[in-house]
Amino acid sequence: MKFAVVTIFPEMFGAITKEGVIAKAIDRGILSVDTINPREFAKDKHRTVDDRPYGGGPGMVMMTAPLSDAIAQAKAKVAGPTKVVYVSPQGKPLTQAKAKTLASLESLVIIAGRYEGIDQRLIEAEVDEEISIGDFIVSGGELPAMIVIDAVARCLPEVLGHKDSAEQDSFSNGLLDCPHYTRPFEYKGLTVPDVLLSGNHQAIAKWRLKQSLGQTWIKRPELLEKIKLTDEQVQLLQAFQEEFQ
Ligand code: SAM
């Protein structure tokens, strides 16, 4: 999958392209992350990409022309059918389901805003979808864009070492993940649940599902209202709840 990000701070993307899972996937040719800087399309010697807002008020607004040219170059870079996403606090919240849907695309162009955001006419003329990383404001779209890329890339087959790791992550089946343990067996008087040392894979899978249901019930009970539990899941959750009291 190809990602092309329109950003005035391309160096920030080294945070995902130089280290970790995304960097490895780039090295293996599974995905690419390009950046296009709208400053390269600015017409003045200061390479200005922002201007004062019509109507007055604080802050600056990203101008249409340099951004529009940068978006055109981003589309040319990914070469093929694509979707233009503007990361914005006014967008629909990013969810695991949304990340999975986006992962089915061949490419994604992401616009990272700065200042007070981008000119509304660009949103109307160029943007297919606005995506938010949550109900709070960060200073620019670079971190949100990296979050979108990371979440989407994790949904691509082959990006994660173990084919199943993404399936086991929180939210992929509507539930939170189960607790995880590693060596040593004892830490500050706390030990690892016996079943995980039993070698009984069926019993381990059942315990993990029960914990997953239980953790969701404790921490994010509203998630349980959004999914239909199987008979086995209902029984496991009831057992967890009885033991919890
Ligand atoms: N004035 C804008 C508003 O209140 O809707 C916020 C502008 S913010 C300081 C600058 C840029 O950061 C935005 O254009 C957007 O790209 C990005 N941004 C900030 N918060 C975000 C969020 N929660 N989700 C996605 N992008 C965000």
* Residue 158 included in any domain: no
CA–centroid distance, 216 to ligand 1, in Å, is 30
59-101 pLDDT, tens digit per residue, is 999 999 999 999 999 999 999 999 999 999 999 999 999 999 9
Please report, as a single letter, which amino acid is at residue 28. Answer: R
Summarised one tens digit per residue, pLDDT across range 163-196 is 667 777 889 899 999 999 999 999 999 999 999 9
Give the count of domains, the chain: 2
Q: Are residues 145 and 180 in the same domain?
A: no
pLDDT tens-digit readout, 121-178: 999 999 999 999 999 999 999 999 999 999 999 999 899 976 667 777 889 899 999 9
Domain boundary among 103, 118, 153: 153
Buried b (16+ CB within 10 A) or exposed e, 40-75: ebbeeeeeebbeeeeeeeeeebbbbebbbbbbebbb
Q: Which residues are marked as active site? A: 89, 116, 154, 169
Ligand 1 and 59: CB distance under 6 A: no
In this structure, the answer to whether residues 208 and 133 fall within a common structural domain is no
Give Rg (Cα) of the chain.
22
**Which atom belonging to ligand 1 lies closest to the Cα atom of 62?**
14
**What does the pLDDT look like over 42-62, one tens digit per residue?**
999 999 999 999 999 999 999
CB 4 within 8 A of CB 105: no
> Could you list the residue range(s) of the whole structural domain that residue 192 is in?
170-244
Domain end among 120, 153, 186: 153
Distance 187 CA to ligand 1 centre (A): 42
Q: Is residue 84 within 8 Å of residue 14, measured between CB atoms?
A: no
